Structure 1
Amino acid sequence: MHRLTAVFLAGDTKARFHAGDLRRATKVHNRRLYPMLARLLERGWITNGCDEPSSDEPSPQPYYVLTDIGRRELNRP
């Protein structure tokens, strides 16, 4: 979880992270990544959405964004 939250904190306040990018940055397999993302979503520390389909990516690509609450909670000592 530490690696995942570090990636979110390294981004600016509007940074969007796709699951593939998070997986590569953290070197965490999907079986571990998605439960961690679900926990952060439940706590309200991240939100999610989908990019619009494009000619490059025909299916919508989900992304995750750190919330202000999440940034505050994850920056606590």
Structure 2
Amino acid sequence: MRKTHALMQVATELLADPSGKHYGYSLAKRAGVRSGVLYPMLARLVDAGWLTDGWEDPTTIQDRRPPRRYYELTDEGKLRLGGLLEEARSDARFKSLKERWT
């Protein structure tokens, strides 16, 4: 997987809650990544086996909205994204992101 600023930002947010469900819109906001960048990235992470995806149970939705798609880290995803973040910590290209990692 190619290391980009967007991937490092998303990885940071995913690993902040490694066993939780992550919804695209809130993940985009927390990571500061546009949806046009985020959703293709999430699709690649699912294809690589680093994330799984699913749909919210419609019977549990309180307000009138459609079910949301969620993403969860796999064990491999936790290891691989954690490894990428660790490599990025010593990479000068990601110096601007280091304050998010402290």
How high is the TM-score relative to the length of structure 1? 0.88
Say which structure is richer in helix. 2
Deviating beyond 6 angstroms after TM superposition, the runs of 4 or more aligned structure 1 residues are none
| Aligned counterparts of 1:57 and 1:69: Cα–Cα separation in 2 | 36
Q: Is the counterpart of residue 2 in structure 1 residue 8 in structure 2?
A: yes
Whichever of the two has the greater Rg, that structure is 2
| Aligned counterparts of 1:26 and 1:43: Cα–Cα separation in 2 | 21
- Residue number among 82, 88, 91 corresponding to 1:75 in the alignment: 82
- Residue number among 49, 58, 61 corresponding to 1:44 in the alignment: 49
Q: Is the counterpart of residue 61 in structure 1 residue 63 in structure 2?
A: no
Q: Is the 8 A contact 2:55 2:70 kept in 1?
A: yes
Structure 1, unaligned stretches of length 5 or more? none
Judged with a 3 Å threshold, the aligned counterparts in structure 2 of structure 1 residues 57 and 12 are, in CA distance, closer, same or farther, namely farther
Deviates more, 1:26-35 or 1:53-62: 53-62
Structure 2, unaligned stretches of length 5 or more? 1-6, 87-102
Deviates more, 1:46-55 or 1:64-73: 46-55
How high is the TM-score relative to the length of structure 2? 0.68
**C-alpha RMSD over aligned residues:** 1.3
Counterpart of 1:58, as a letter, is R
Map Cα deviations across residues 39-75 of structure 1 (whole Å, 9 max, x no partner).
1111100010111122314311111001101001122
| Aligned counterparts of 1:75 and 1:57: Cα–Cα separation in 2 | 37
